[in-house]
Amino acid sequence: MNGSPVRAAEADLPLERDVFTRTLIRELAGTLEDVVGLEDASGYISVVGMAIGEQIDGAYRSALAVDRLSRDQVADVLVDLKRRIQGDFFILEDTEDRIVLGNRVCPFGEKVLDRPSLCMMTSNVFGHIAGQNLRYAAVDLEQTIAQGAAGCRVVVYLRPSDSVPASAREYFRR
């Protein structure tokens, strides 16, 4: 510790708005999971995800100048919105009945690890957009980075059927 003291502004810290915000969200999710349990924490985060899904859906409809997104636009929007928030989602399968998405990078980065309730953001945003535009969606988070997988596998079912697993969350047009 020779010489002039280092000023705080010159300190090498991995701290900026994005890291701070992701850390804040991680800690809020962790506190909820610890206090009320994973299921209830996921429920609270689902409410936030629904509100954000509504905002994002409205923004895309406005930007694309449509009353409702088409089936192809829904698939495109799901990938695009995650790209814009620094996720790396891509379509693995796209049929009349479902859209299967993969993901290599979570928008929450490493802050999502051991915080599976945060995945309700993806479920609710995807479910809201698909459900509002296509009348029905069920989202199944088959694999998630939050639970230790190398990537995510998210299935968005577009029609109610016996093939929709019980673990999927359903969304309907309001």
pLDDT in tens, 16-65: 999 999 999 999 999 999 999 999 999 999 999 999 999 999 999 999 99
Q: Which position has the higher pLDDT, 12 or 68? A: 68
For 152, the enclosing helix (H) or strand (E) is strand 152-157
Report the CATH number that the domain containing residue 37 is assigned in CATH.
Answer: 3.30.1380.20
Q: 47 lies in which domain range?
A: 15-172
State how far the Cα of 87 lies from the Cα of 17, in Å rounded to an integer.
17
Sign of the torsion formed by the C-alpha atoms of 133, 134, 135 and 139: negative
Kindly state whether residue 149 falls inside one of the protein's structural domains: yes
Measured at the CA of 34, the angle between CA 33 and CA 36, to 5 degrees, comes to: 65
pTM recorded for the entire structure? 0.91
Kindly state whether residue 77 falls inside one of the protein's structural domains: yes
CB atoms within 10 A of CB 139: 27
% of the chain surpassing 70 pLDDT: 99
